[in-house]
Structure 1
Amino acid sequence: MLDRLADLIRYRELVRNLVIRDLKARYKNSILGFVWCLVNPLLMMVVFTIVFTVMMPNNTIDRFPVFILCALLPWNWFSASVTGAINSIVSNASLVKKVYFPREVLPLSVVLSNLINFLLALTVLFAMLFFFHVRLTPWALLLPLVIFIQLVFTTGLALILSTLNVFYRDTGVIMEVVLLAWFFLTPIFYPIDIIPHHRVIWGLSLDLHRLVWWLNPMASLIATYRVILYHGAPPAFDFLLRTFVTSLGFLVVGYLFFIHYSRTFGEEV
């Protein structure tokens, strides 16, 4: 594994070129170009704000546009990375068959290109924070750490799914449904505090609040983004540490899984 990491470092220029290629292809022939990475979250923010404040006037969440952006931007990065990484090996079949390079640069470049989009879109969030007079506190300095943990988790999952899709082409179709369910099970347009602590399901008394924290890394990450930026408060460090350990586990397992099966990619694609 260490040899493979060293090999990946030697091919860092290829990673950079693939990231640039992905960004250029995404906005090719569009009128606004890279501006879309700013306009898109703004439009989604407007839609969610209309739905949850105008059409549902009982919503009591203060400064809802900021509230929703703190969660929507990280989710968009995660969702776009996972969706794009699934086909990253198959869509580059000719390259995989003809040229030697560490195959993991393909899903990795997708995650990194979406990371750049996310970082650019953060300017919209900070503009909204200023517009709605949300004061940043020193806890906002934890933002790079939270981004790094999400990068680790997303990369690990991307490696697993891109490998599975080489052998099972319906992986992408299944993940469309999974991501839709995952979206609603993650506190994006609602605060995590409204999830009940105790609920009886099929005769079992479950602490749903704790289960969401434990079993859904994105719930923990998005709640942390919201706490440090929207609330200006310290995050739940125990859950953040647990999320980091989980994310690291996904990355290690995903990388080993990818390395093991990458030897046969050329035959399968």
Structure 2
Amino acid sequence: MTMVRELRAAPELLANLTRREVKGKYKRTVLGQLWSLVNPLAQMIIFTAVFSFVLRVPIPTGDPSGLHNFAVFLLCGLLPWGFFVNVINGGMDSLVANENLIKKVAFPRAALPLASAFSLTLSWSIEMVVLLVALTVLGAASLLWTPALVLVMALLFAFAFGVALLLSVANVYFRDTQHFVGILTQAWFYATPIVYPTSLVLEQSEKIGSLIGSWTLYDFYRLNPMERFVELFRSLLYDNRWPPLDSTLYCVAWALVALVVGAAVFRRHEKKLAEAL
């Protein structure tokens, strides 16, 4: 709560830091903010070519939307995943990148990873609006689910920011953190149903059977919080229906745990950051 009070007491600082992040990210580039759209579109084209035309990964038909489009199916998972990775990477580097500022000026240090997360949220929101427009053109009723979508986006923001707080502190003390996280996110990407449907994992799990006691491969697979977050986004955007209650509660729990633990760890080390840097 102390961290929240400090951040609320410095809205101008937070706004200036966020503005700096937004302007600095695409400084001296020709396309500027449009790069936030070009990058996911390029990934979509590559993954669609590989997994849809070469490997021919089967995807489900949206229920009840009736959609059956690999590129849209992919984007419904790729955009949330991209936001999550960008927030944790940006937050992880925020303290080290602002070493001089931290050593010279007294201010709430959490404003740095938060400003990074806010700037990425702006880009992500633009991407999601474009996706909603594309879904509407294709005949889906995704616009009707916008209020629920905003809530799920807020949940993912909370989860990503909590993880970013933890990693930002870890990166101050152990600079190998950023390299380790880079490898982890690559493996995590393929452990999350972004380029393939969850049904493929279920099929393999049924073939293998139990692994430990009554626990199957599918049971362990579903422990992945990002698997549940992707399920929420696909339910709203691709299927046009309410997400499963258990997955929603699971995401709420992960968001709260990440925020509470991340804030507690950050608060504990905040006063020592200048010395550690």
Instruction: Identify the TM-score tier after normalising by the shorter chain.
Output: over 0.9
- For residues 8-42 of structure 1, the C-alpha deviation after alignment (integer angstroms, 9 at most, x for no partner) is 11112211111111111111111111111122222
Letter in 2 for 1:121: E
**Displacement of 1:203 after TM fit?**
6.6
Matches within 5 A, 1:27-66: 27-57=26-56, 59-61=58-60, 62-66=68-72
Letter in 1 for 2:263: Y
CA contact (8 A) 2:91 2:161 kept: no
CA RMSD of aligned residues (A): 1.8
* Aligned equivalent of 1:143: 149
**Displacement of 1:266 after TM fit?**
0.6
Partner residue of 1:186 out of 181, 192, 214: 192
Identical-pair percentage: 34
1:233–1:92 CA distance, 2 compared to 1 (3 A): same
Q: TM-score, normalised by structure 2?
A: 0.90
Local SS of the residue matching 1:43: helix
After alignment, is 69-78 or 190-199 more displaced?
Answer: 190-199
In structure 1, the gaps of 5 or more residues are: none
1:27–1:91 CA distance, 2 compared to 1 (3 A): same
Matches within 5 A, 1:84-233: 84-136=90-142, 138-196=144-202, 197-198=205-206, 199-200=208-209, 206-213=215-222, 215-233=223-241
- For 2:245 and 2:59, the matched residues in 1 are separated by 27
- For 2:146 and 2:220, the matched residues in 1 are separated by 26
In structure 2, the gaps of 5 or more residues are: 61-67
- For 1:43 and 1:99, the matched residues in 2 are separated by 40
CA contact (8 A) 2:14 2:111 kept: yes
CA contact (8 A) 2:162 2:260 kept: yes
1:147–1:60 CA distance, 2 compared to 1 (3 A): closer
1:53–1:260 CA distance, 2 compared to 1 (3 A): same
* Aligned equivalent of 2:248: 240
Q: Say how many residue pairs are matched.
A: 267
